[in-house]
Structure 1
Amino acid sequence: MSINILIVDDSAIMRSMIKKTIYRSNVEVGEIYEAGNGREGLEMLEKSKPDLLFIDVNMPVMDGMEMLEIIRNKPETSDLPVLIVSTESNKQRISRINEHNAGFVHKPFTPEKLREKILSVLGVLD
């Protein structure tokens, strides 16, 4: 089963790095969509209907935590698998991420670590 993914990060370079790492992780990928902030991410979410979201925390216009809260409060996206990616290791923020039923990936990450996190949030045993 291939998965469609939406990557939301304000850095085009980081989006590219995440995309390359996903391809190297040996996860079967369909389409990969991209957005530069939370607001664009919500718009792209409506158009693309991905199976998994990668969301950066710190972004302009709408940050990743705001986007995550909106997603979790909508019935049609409340259980959508989400991985929050960040260089930040704030325990309080990670706790909030966990409360919103999302996974957390600390930047930088390896293809192996990313595969593990993707399969975990998708509920797939490897």
Structure 2
Amino acid sequence: MSMKVLAVDDSRTMRDMIRMALMPAGIEVHLAEDGVHGIEVLDGLSPDAIITDINMPRMDGFGFIDAVRDQEEHRATPILVLTTESAPELKMRAREAGATGWIVKPFDPAKLVKALQMVAG
């Protein structure tokens, strides 16, 4: 299955880890360094799913999710939050904003691929 994913994270190392986890599974990965950049990259892109961190400069993950959901063409695009945060109130806030799922870092590459296939497949 061919899949296109946008990954938004302010850590270059984490973006590289996400790309290295997904590319062997045949997933086309587009990267952005924060929410503002993520919205710019999203323009003209039709990803099958989006992965976003929460704690980022300029626009955090919650603002990014809100901005994505404000766009008609991306209202139904699955969004996985990939973060070091695990507080239940943050998970609830992300769900209310429109996140599809939540994965805590560090992540297992195979589980990330499986989660993407489940939400976007």
For 1:16, the equivalent position in structure 2 comes to 16
Count of aligned pairs between the two proteins: 120
Give 3-state SS (helix, strand or coil) of 2:74's partner. Answer: coil
Output one character per residue of 1:40-73: Cα deviation in whole Å (capped at 9) or x when no partner.
Answer: 0001000332221111100000011101011112
CA RMSD of aligned residues (A): 1.5
Post-superposition, which runs of at least 4 consecutive aligned residues in structure 1 deviate over 3 A?
Answer: none
Find the counterpart in structure 1 of residue 32 from structure 2.
35
Residue equivalent to 2:73: 76
Matched letter for residue 44 of structure 1: V
For residue 81 of structure 1, what is the amino acid of its counterpart?
P
Which residue among 45, 50, 59 is the counterpart of 2:47?
50
**Which amino acid letter does the alignment assign opposite residue 13 of structure 2?**
I
Q: Does the 8 Å contact 1:55/1:83 carry over to 2?
A: yes
Q: Is the 8 A contact 2:23 2:29 kept in 1?
A: no
TM-score (norm 1): 0.87
Using the alignment, how far apart are the partners of 2:71 and 2:5 within structure 1?
19
1:6 aligns to what?
A: 6
State the 1:101 CA deviation.
Answer: 4.0
Report percent identity of matched pairs.
36
What SS does the aligned partner of 1:92 have? helix
Are 2:81 and 2:99, in contact at CA under 8 Å, matched by a contact in 1? no
Residue by residue over 1:1-59, the C-alpha shift from the partner in whole angstroms, topping out at 9 and shown as x without a partner, is 311111111111110011112235x3x31x31111110100010003322211111000
Q: For residue 77 of structure 1, report the CA deviation from its aligned partner.
A: 0.8
Question: SS at 1:49's partner residue?
Answer: coil
Check whether the contact 1:57–1:65 (CA below 8 A) recurs between aligned residues: yes
Matching residue of 2:115: 117
Gaps of 5+ in 2: none
TM-score, length-scaled by structure 2: 0.90
